[in-house]
Amino acid sequence: MATGDRITQLRPGALVPVPRDAADEPLAAQRLSDVDEWGRSEHARALTRRLYDPMYRYWFRVEWDGMEKIPDVGGALLVSNHAGAIPSDAPAIMHGIETELGRPVYGLAEHLFKAVPIVGTAWARNGGVAAHPENAYRLLREQQQLALVFPEGTKATGKLYKDRYQLRRFGRGGFVEIAMRSGVPVIPIVVMGAEESMPIVARSNSLAKLLNVPYVPITANMLLFGPLGALLYFPSKFRIKVLDPVHFDVPSDQERYSRSRVMDEAESIRVRMQETLYDMLRNRKSIWFG
Amino acid sequence: MGRRVLITGLGTFWGGRVAKALEADPDVEVIVGVDTQAPKIRLERTEFVRADQSYSILARIVKATQVDTILHTFLVVDSTRMSGRSLHEINVIGTMNLLAAAGGAGSTVRQVVVKSSTLVYGSNYQDPVWFREETPRTRAPRTRVERSLLEVEDYLRDFAEDNPHVTVTLMRFSNVLGTDIVTPISKALQLPGGLTPCILGFDPRLQFLEEDDVVRSIEFTMREQVPGIYNVAGDGLLPWSEVAHVCGRRLIAMPPVLTGAAVRPLEWARMELPPELLDLLRYGRGADNRRLKRAGFRYRYTSAGAVESFAEASRLRATVGDSRPTYKYESDVEAFFRHSPAVVRQPTG
């Protein structure tokens, strides 16, 4: 105890103040890779863009309408319809926006992706993020990024060719709630052409249950090209239309939002997208040439 | 009057480090360390008491020394260090006894700081990238160490509720790397042959904390007496491949199926990959460290900085050998320096 007292008394007169907190300066550290906290790497993405560009330009011949509605800065939740056994719409949307606006797009997808070796890592390096509300909030609210989400989920990609362009239920409207909480607009994007790039003619439910995956498809591509068909898309013409952004005049950062309001907003967005799709289909003369 | 501090696990890496740091703090009047084993580093004024694994002696020590602060650094988070039974004994029963002592009648304890781990969040494919302190885990715990840490946290929550006059601080530390500490991850990054295991097709992002920041953060929460739960982890996440690259290692891929069986042969190389680490090498984990920053703590190292600090230390060690001084605790000698009237005591710090 005596020791303690002496120290306390000596302290004010000490010649050298003990610089305990002076060392608080954070030390800078070099990074070797450019993989960000979400797993996205701009290098990997640039390489993918270079490889994918011919496909985008000459295979699907993607045409955009209303790209200017996507902001250059600030967060926004992009919402799109989903199709194809291995969806071809997400890469096309992400590629288009990244090359046009020069800002990253994060694709929110099924968690299951992360559990698959190689695929999960490749997906993450190219901007894929598990669709967890916490992830979406951080991306949109705190980092003001663009996030792309497919509210229909696997219900859409697993649907048969005869159900093409029939939008499925938009989940439980979670995307609206996330946009409200993050204080960002929802920008609906309608894709036409993806349905025909890899149509599903049949499904095996028992095999899906066995493998513990959402669906096991038999696609027209597989029937034509054999196993190679899992990789080969049909060259359908893609048209992508951006609808007017939906702003919600509710305060952000609320614990929860009115369920009925959320469901109504989600349903009205779904209806708008469905009607736009019908409109576009009415004007489409050919699957292959638009 | 200065603080009177009791440190559990004085003989462990963290207990010793924290005690050493507190010795330099003139506001800390008394430091008592409890452990089953003697301290491994030289301490100037810390008093060491030997106890059994489950700390049954603790109530007496608390009463006798009238400590106001307990730093519980003795939770085992590395399951390769001991059997499941002693792990349970130390973590769960030890904490129970500790809390019983701290909350006993006439107890002078006003703050309890517990060093837990981000292992309590688990590591699973359904996880968010960042865990906040209140984010629930997505899968029930499967490993023994995770279960025991969750049990400890439950006890601590009850204790905090029953003892509102005590400041309870629960700190969840991320994976620690640094110049001295040895963990399963540091061992994996120092395996002979320049090879480091990874799981084929997975390149998870991991978060690290430098050992210096561990000690600083414990000191910080003690000094500022901040109550609540805090993640303690460096800024940013690094892919495992990058970590290996920084350390000059090549990766050797383990099969993604039956990984547990495939890594068994590594045990011959005294390299054990516990199940919680295999999960981590698959899915990674991130803990949001902003609450502690908001409380006023400033990290010195980012995740990348911690890896760099570790890599520098291992390069040095590879060149000049292990130069860490060995120290053996001799109770007579320590008692002489602390209590003999012949010793002229200089103020520390």
Provide the residue type at A98 as one letter. Answer: E
What's the pLDDT at B347? 59
The pLDDT tens digits of the residues spanning A171-203 come to: 888 999 999 999 999 999 999 999 999 999 888
Distance from CA of A113 to the nearest CA of B (A): 8
The answer to whether B125 touches A112, Cβ cutoff 8 Å, is: yes
Across the interface, whether the CB atoms of B125 and A114 are under 8 A apart is answered yes
| Domains of chain A (ranges, CATH numbers) | 39-198+235-278 (3.40.1130.10)
- Residues of chain A with C-beta less than 8 angstroms from the C-beta of B246: 32
* Helix, strand or coil, per DSSP, at residue A113: helix
**Among B113, B243, B97, which residue's Cα sits nearest to residue B177?**
B243
Q: From the list B2, B246, B256, which residue is nearest A32 (CB)?
A: B246
Provide the residue type at A289 as one letter. Answer: F
Residues in chain B with pLDDT < 50? 348-349
Q: Which two tokens stand for residue A52?
A: 């994918």
Tell me which residues of chain A, numbers 129 to 168, contact chain B at a CB-CB cutoff of 8 Å: 129-130, 132-135, 138
Across the interface, whether the CB atoms of A29 and B349 are under 8 A apart is answered no
- Residues of chain B with C-beta less than 8 angstroms from the C-beta of A114: 125, 283
Q: From the list A31, A112, A138, which residue is nearest B304 (CB)?
A: A31
Across the interface, whether the CB atoms of A112 and B24 are under 8 A apart is answered no
Q: From the list A10, A26, A33, which residue is nearest B300 (CB)?
A: A26
Residue A5 has pLDDT above 60, yes or no: no
Across the interface, whether the CB atoms of B237 and A37 are under 8 A apart is answered yes
Residue A15 has pLDDT above 50, yes or no: no
Distance from CA of A108 to the nearest CA of B (A): 12
Distance from CA of B246 to the nearest CA of A (A): 7
Facing residues of B35 across strands? B50
- Residues of chain B with C-beta less than 8 angstroms from the C-beta of A132: 126-129
**Among A157, A127, A148, which residue's Cα sits nearest to residue A37?**
A127
Distance from CA of B163 to the nearest CA of A (A): 28
The pLDDT tens digits of the residues spanning A207-239 come to: 888 888 888 888 999 888 888 888 889 999 999
The answer to whether B145 touches B205, Cβ cutoff 8 Å, is: no
Across the interface, whether the CB atoms of A8 and B302 are under 8 A apart is answered no
Q: With bands split at pLDDT 50, 70 and 90, how would you rate the model's confidence at A261? A: very high
Rounded CA separation A135/A143 (Å): 11
Q: With bands split at pLDDT 50, 70 and 90, how would you rate the model's confidence at A28? A: confident
| Nearest chain B residue (CA) to A12 | B26
Q: Is A25 near chain B, with CB under 8 Å?
A: yes
Reported as type and span, the H/E element at residue B72 is strand B69-72
Q: Which two tokens stand for residue A135?
A: 């992830």
Across the interface, whether the CB atoms of A33 and B301 are under 8 A apart is answered no
Percentage of residues in chain A with pLDDT exceeding 70?
91
- DSSP 8-state assignment for residue A186: E
A137: exposed, middle or buried (Cβ count in 10 Å: 0-12, 13-18, 19+)? buried
What's the pLDDT at A167? 92
**Among B56, B13, B18, B11, which residue's Cα sits nearest to residue B36?**
B11
Residue A24 has pLDDT above 60, yes or no: no
Q: Is A252 near chain B, with CB under 8 Å?
A: no
Across the interface, whether the CB atoms of A138 and B205 are under 8 A apart is answered no
Q: Is A263 near chain B, with CB under 8 Å?
A: no
- Residues of chain B with C-beta less than 8 angstroms from the C-beta of A30: 304, 308
| Nearest chain B residue (CA) to A116 | B201
H, E, C per residue of B110-126: CEEEEEEEHHHHCCCCC
Q: From the list B128, B200, B242, which residue is nearest A117 (CB)?
A: B200
Distance from CA of B201 to the nearest CA of A (A): 4
Give the number of beta-carbon pairs within 8 Å between A and B. 114
Rounded CA separation A163/A256 (Å): 34
Residue A8 has pLDDT above 60, yes or no: no
- Residues of chain A with C-beta less than 8 angstroms from the C-beta of B30: 1, 4
What's the pLDDT at A79? 96
**Around Cβ B175, how many Cβ atoms within 10 Å?**
24
**Among A39, A158, A70, which residue's Cα sits nearest to residue B238?**
A39
**Among A240, A233, A197, which residue's Cα sits nearest to residue A100?**
A240
What's the pLDDT at B323? 63
Q: From the list A7, A10, A117, which residue is nearest B201 (CB)?
A: A117
**Among B293, B34, B243, which residue's Cα sits nearest to residue A33?**
B243
The pLDDT tens digits of the residues spanning A79-106 come to: 999 988 888 999 999 999 999 999 999 9
What's the pLDDT at B214? 95
Across the interface, whether the CB atoms of A115 and B125 are under 8 A apart is answered yes
The answer to whether B3 touches B68, Cβ cutoff 8 Å, is: yes
Facing residues of A129 across strands? A108
Rounded CA separation B247/A176 (Å): 44
- Residues of chain B with C-beta less than 8 angstroms from the C-beta of A37: 129-130, 205, 236-237, 286
- Residues of chain A with C-beta less than 8 angstroms from the C-beta of B237: 37
The answer to whether B343 touches B337, Cβ cutoff 8 Å, is: yes
